[in-house]
Structure 1
Amino acid sequence: KQPLLLVSLDGWRADYLQTWSKLVPVVDKLQKCGTSTRFMQAAFPSKTFPNHWTIATGLYPESNGLIDNNMYDPDMDASFSLSSPEKDNPAWYHGQPVILVYYYSMSTTTTVLLLLQYFDYLLFSLYIKAGVQQRTLIEALQGVDLILGQLMNGLQQLRLHRCVNIIIVADHGMEEQSCERKEALYSLVSSLIYLNVKLFPRVQCRTPGQKTRPYLKQNLPKRLHFANSRRIEDVNVLVTPQWLFERYPGSLRFCSGGTHGWDNDVESMHAMFLSYGPKFRPRTEVEPFSNIELYNLMCDLLEIVPTENNGTHGSMNHLQRAPYHTPTAPPPQSPAQECPLTALDPAHTTHLPFGPPVLLQASHSVCSLRHQGFISGYSWDRLQPLWTSYTDTEDSLGPVVSDCLRPDVRVPPAQSPTCEAYSSAAPNISPGFLYPPNLNVSAEQQFDALTTSNISPMFPQFQRIWRHFHAALLPRYAALYNGLNVLSGPVFDYNYDGRYDSPQQIQMFVPGSKIPVPTHYFIVLTSCRNSSRAVLQCDGPLQTVSFVLPHREDNSESCESAASEEQWVEQLMWFHQSRVRDVELLAGLDLYQGSSRPITELLQMKTRPTADIRRKA
């Protein structure tokens, strides 16, 4: 079998390849001759140990055990650091790195060349001293380029240069820091505080233009995948790029040069990736991807079966000349039932152009409800829709009078929501329309949406976000993208593990509730990548924008929430952007199975990193 050589360069920011390509001829040649991408998105936090272990295991830091370079485990009652003997304790490391998977899969007579070459400390120390734009940085890059040149010459002398598959990556990017850009913890809170949810609105918006924002870990954006670990502290602080956070003024002494660790959507945190070898496509540039996808790719190159991981197997097939793995669509776990009045075929082709979502939740009773203006998958178990789909919108009819709400005769009374059930669901909860009736183009269609099968529990403050999106943002996005298919629905993730909760898990957190209150709501917008083609006439690749919006009693996360929605809702939504794949995992759905597009193309689209999706002006 062809061997694999993995080279990891600590802190080689993605744009260095474009900025200084002429100064690093070896890296430049490998990039031009092999397979590369504009950037590879690091995992959060964008730090060294978490990302190296993510690359090795395909697991997010919350799952691979290394959530930071420095951390504390309450069950082990031990602290981990790069300079501590604890770093050699295997209990800190979760997952199975690719090298072990390979060793377990081969016979005793099989030989392998698998090199893991780290240039971490050389590059990292130079970055710290020099920053990210200084002459010494260029010298460091040239030094690494020289070492890679020696490596390639050595492979050629061993006659392995046409045999070895080479992957060169970075763990994260790099950004300039300054001692003039710091905020202190004790400027936000007193010297002694207790964890209290009611404290957060005051701390989050303490001063105008605040550069630090504290979050309870369960309230962090789902795209960060940074909550489901006992090693993650209850409170986490997100810091504006180029700014630093210290305990008290003056406590952070090392604050000049370059560093990392910010939001992994930030451009300067993006890592480089290039590959070269007989199994990679030559002279090919692919779209950006996340580093969790490398594990499955490396297993394919070694022709072994990967262990369970956070990557999506098959999403990297387009990098390979002859892909080793052929992905297949998952089968439904609860086939959808048809409710009465199913003959609205035009509604099906218009509002479900890529087929209905496939339910991956077992033992679930879901009924497909068709209307002229939308289609929904109604859950008889949760007394609310699991999803609603519709395509484009035209003129709205204005506000809707909620008193017009009426029962849906297609749903048996025992499976229909009642006012009593809503009043007992949670304090301050009211029914909200998953599909706003005023989006219909006729009064008759509007009354189709004024039914109990189209409502879901919503906090009044969340309905401000929901209504503003449909009334103001959606029409603008539909015009920008030349039409949109919209899929939306509730998310239940009470244990904040990034996966849908089972009915038993929901009852553990909200016992006795007939109508469970969602923790989030998702929105998936699909359009044609060729913007000259409308979404219903699209015969080429698709593009998506997805959101997983937190469903909370207040909007204190936004410091401007007291102002009109135009000033803060859109920014909040894009902060909670997500991948389509994350929506699928949270909602227990598989999307686009009714599309005629190849599954590998769909997997690329579903796993496209949020850092590569920007809102249009």
Structure 2
Amino acid sequence: MKDEPLADDTMKELPRHISDDAADQEREGLLSGVAAERRDADTERSRLSTKKMLALAATALLLLVGVVEVGIMIKSKHQAPDPVLNLTRSNGTHEFKKTVLVVSIDGLQAGYLDRGLTPHLLDISKKGLRAKFMKPVFPTLTFPNHWALMTGLYAESHGIVANNFWDPATDSKFDYSSAPHSWNASWWFGEPMWETAGKAGLITANLMWPGPPETRTGWSPTYFIPWRDKVPLSEKHDQIMSWIDLPLDSRPQLIMAYEPSLDQAGHLAGPKSTLVNTTLAYVDRFAKSITESLAARNLTDIVDVVFLSDHGMTDTSHPTLVYMDDIIGVEGLESIEHEDGWPSMGIRFSPTVDSSKYLSILLDAAKANPEKFDVYTHDTMPQRYHFSRNPRIAPIYVVPKMGYALTTREQGDVGFSKGNHGYDNNERSMNAMFVAHGPFSAVTKVLHQQNSRSLAKRWLGNPNEGWHSTTDDTYVMDGFENVNIYNLVMKLLAIEEFAASTNGTEGFWDKYF
């Protein structure tokens, strides 16, 4: 994204909402669910081998211990969503339905959490879950990834292939910074989670999440607050809590919120800057205020909170410049009709020139300089990018390697930001962040801890596969693709039967529930 000024009050403290009230845990119906599973197992006993019986017994024991500790209802993953999950629960004074809050902190590189500047996010992760990283879709840009998070689709499937791009089908340009050139529903393919929730009869709220106010099928969030720059995080906090405090019949069960200040700081000063570190502490206090406000309302066991980001950030303060006019000549440069996808360069040559000639020149240059950039067509694009099957993707894509920047002799490095993203999504510095806290993560952590202490390791192999214990006893999930977030929210809201098709891994979250 372009460099944008930070909010004027970036350095202000956020309000504190602290409560010592412990959240109540429900334990009703637990033993009956496990007993039912045991009766089913008895009917199959004669057909099971001794090894399988041991595995089944170990599984039942793990479920019983974990469930009694955290107070959840056990049901088979093959059953339809249990109606009890949609019933209201009390926080001691009011009734609440199952609720999910998804907060995106733009540009929060996964590695930022290891700087010692985010004690609150780390504390949240110790109580809940943290992933090593979350892998963004290619290109690692803001709009493609926020729509991937919302829909569970790769860019080639959801159609937002860059922050700025040309659509040959409509002969028009998508420009993320202009509502008239980006909000039209025709740009946005796929079904965002707030549309699915609406179809399931849930109330939803959207606080400045990058995307349109309405989908191609005419669905809108129940509450929608459009993008506005320089909004203090205290104001966003208060807006979220005002939705949480609404009466039951008008209260959203899915809330999505977006915060760009860390991304803006990264572009302006670079990921290693004092400004990024200061802003990182600022958004960390925002995360703390959210969790403390939920705790003050006794909602820790009712509301699942997911803090995540869209991509990381890398230092581009001193890149090695690659001059495109030195490669294809001034004539070739002037023959480019449309250019998409900075820091990559999606090229559409004028139909009046022989584009194959320039493609050949670019391929030869890439072969001679493999450390600087790659050149792809739809046919040669790496399959792992999932970035070829859409006419909005330019027919020729020049993708710079980390540390390099595409430019021209005329442009030089004028206007270059000190930090950037958009590079190969396998690059470590492009990794996004995932931290979750609430009833889902509490259940998952207890089951994991019980697994690690039980005989199941011998009976079931390695039930903790995909987990890593750190020195402070924090359990960290393996990294995963961000297209799996949509299905997580569907599970948390118990509306999987309404879910749209996605590019996420089928059954990915089953082992964590």
TM-score by length of 2: 0.59
Q: Take 2:161 and 2:370, find their aligned partners in 1: how far apart are those partners? A: 29
**Which of 184, 195, 213 does residue 355 from structure 2 map onto?**
195
**Which of 104, 127, 130 does residue 33 from structure 1 map onto?**
127
User: Cα distance, 1:254 vs. partner?
Assistant: 2.1
The number of residues matched between the two structures is 316
- Name the structure 1 match of 2:476: 285
**Which of 283, 286, 303 does residue 164 from structure 1 map onto?**
303
**Which of 310, 313, 317 does residue 510 from structure 2 map onto?**
317
Tell me whether 1:69 sits opposite 2:182 in the alignment: no
User: Cα distance, 1:116 vs. partner?
Assistant: 1.2
- Name the structure 1 match of 2:174: 80
One-letter amino acid matched to 2:160: L
Q: Take 2:407 and 2:199, find their aligned partners in 1: how far apart are those partners? A: 45
Q: Take 2:100 and 2:106, find their aligned partners in 1: how far apart are those partners? A: 19
CA contact (8 A) 1:184 1:249 kept: no
- Name the structure 2 match of 1:412: none
Q: How does 1:213-224 map to 2 (within 5 A)?
A: 213-224=374-385
- Name the structure 2 match of 1:50: 144
- Name the structure 2 match of 1:98: 193
Q: How does 1:530-541 map to 2 (within 5 A)?
A: none
User: Cα distance, 1:146 vs. partner?
Assistant: 1.1
CA contact (8 A) 1:35 1:319 kept: no
Q: Take 1:295 and 1:223, find their aligned partners in 2: how far apart are those partners? A: 20
Question: Aligned residues: percent identity?
Answer: 29
CA contact (8 A) 1:70 1:80 kept: yes
CA contact (8 A) 1:293 1:312 kept: yes
One-letter amino acid matched to 1:301: L
User: Cα distance, 1:70 vs. partner?
Assistant: 0.4
SS at match of 1:166: strand
Q: Take 1:190 and 1:130, find their aligned partners in 2: how far apart are those partners? A: 33
Tell me whether 1:119 sits opposite 2:259 in the alignment: yes
- Higher mean Cα deviation, 308-317 or 151-160? 151-160
- Name the structure 2 match of 1:413: none
Q: How does 1:141-156 map to 2 (within 5 A)?
A: 141-156=280-295
**Which of 204, 211, 217 does residue 366 from structure 2 map onto?**
204
- Name the structure 1 match of 2:416: 255
CA contact (8 A) 1:155 1:161 kept: yes
Q: Take 1:312 and 1:289, find their aligned partners in 2: how far apart are those partners? A: 10
- Name the structure 2 match of 1:269: 430
CA contact (8 A) 1:286 1:319 kept: no
Q: Deviations over 1:302-328 (max 9, x none)?
A: 1113101111221122232xxxxxxxx
Q: Take 2:122 and 2:502, find their aligned partners in 1: how far apart are those partners? A: 32
Q: Take 1:6 and 1:61, find their aligned partners in 2: how far apart are those partners? A: 20
Tell me whether 1:6 sits opposite 2:199 in the alignment: no
Q: Take 1:99 and 1:307, find their aligned partners in 2: how far apart are those partners? A: 11
CA contact (8 A) 2:327 2:362 kept: no
- Name the structure 2 match of 1:128: 267
Q: How does 1:372-451 map to 2 (within 5 A)?
A: none
Q: Take 2:361 and 2:319, find their aligned partners in 1: how far apart are those partners? A: 28
**Which of 386, 393, 399 does residue 225 from structure 1 map onto?**
386
SS at match of 2:329: coil
SS at match of 2:331: coil
One-letter amino acid matched to 1:195: S
User: Cα distance, 1:249 vs. partner?
Assistant: 4.6
CA contact (8 A) 1:178 1:242 kept: no
CA contact (8 A) 1:179 1:256 kept: no
CA contact (8 A) 2:319 2:403 kept: no
SS at match of 2:278: helix
CA contact (8 A) 2:366 2:372 kept: no
One-letter amino acid matched to 1:310: N
User: Cα distance, 1:284 vs. partner?
Assistant: 3.5
Tell me whether 1:301 sits opposite 2:492 in the alignment: yes
Give ranges in structure 1 of 5+ residues lacking alignment: 321-617
Q: Take 2:388 and 2:494, find their aligned partners in 1: how far apart are those partners? A: 33
Q: Take 1:233 and 1:292, find their aligned partners in 2: how far apart are those partners? A: 23
Q: Take 1:257 and 1:201, find their aligned partners in 2: how far apart are those partners? A: 29
One-letter amino acid matched to 1:104: K
CA contact (8 A) 1:38 1:287 kept: yes
CA contact (8 A) 1:46 1:263 kept: yes
SS at match of 2:364: helix
SS at match of 1:46: coil
CA contact (8 A) 1:43 1:224 kept: yes
**Structure of greater Rg:** 1
- Name the structure 2 match of 1:410: none
Distance 1:195 1:87, change over 3 A: same
- Name the structure 2 match of 1:448: none
Q: Take 1:209 and 1:286, find their aligned partners in 2: how far apart are those partners? A: 34
SS at match of 1:118: strand
Q: Take 2:370 and 2:384, find their aligned partners in 1: how far apart are those partners? A: 24
SS at match of 2:153: coil
What is the root-mean-square deviation of aligned Cα atoms in Å?
Answer: 1.9
Distance 1:250 1:5, change over 3 A: same
Give ranges in structure 2 of 5+ residues lacking alignment: 1-96, 204-248, 333-353, 446-473
- Name the structure 2 match of 1:18: 114
User: Cα distance, 1:200 vs. partner?
Assistant: 4.7
Distance 1:256 1:83, change over 3 A: closer
Q: Deviations over 1:394-427 (max 9, x none)?
A: xxxxxxxxxxxxxxxxxxxxxxxxxxxxxxxxxx
SS at match of 1:230: coil
User: Cα distance, 1:274 vs. partner?
Assistant: 1.1
User: Cα distance, 1:245 vs. partner?
Assistant: 0.9
User: Cα distance, 1:191 vs. partner?
Assistant: 2.5
Q: Deviations over 1:516-545 (max 9, x none)?
A: xxxxxxxxxxxxxxxxxxxxxxxxxxxxxx
- Name the structure 1 match of 2:398: 237
Q: Take 1:209 and 1:220, find their aligned partners in 2: how far apart are those partners? A: 15
User: Cα distance, 1:97 vs. partner?
Assistant: 0.5
User: Cα distance, 1:195 vs. partner?
Assistant: 1.8
SS at match of 1:238: strand
SS at match of 1:214: strand
Q: How does 1:300-379 map to 2 (within 5 A)?
A: 300-305=491-496, 306-320=499-513
User: Cα distance, 1:31 vs. partner?
Assistant: 1.1
SS at match of 2:110: coil
User: Cα distance, 1:162 vs. partner?
Assistant: 2.3
User: Cα distance, 1:213 vs. partner?
Assistant: 2.1
- Name the structure 2 match of 1:534: none
Q: Deviations over 1:415-445 (max 9, x none)?
A: xxxxxxxxxxxxxxxxxxxxxxxxxxxxxxx
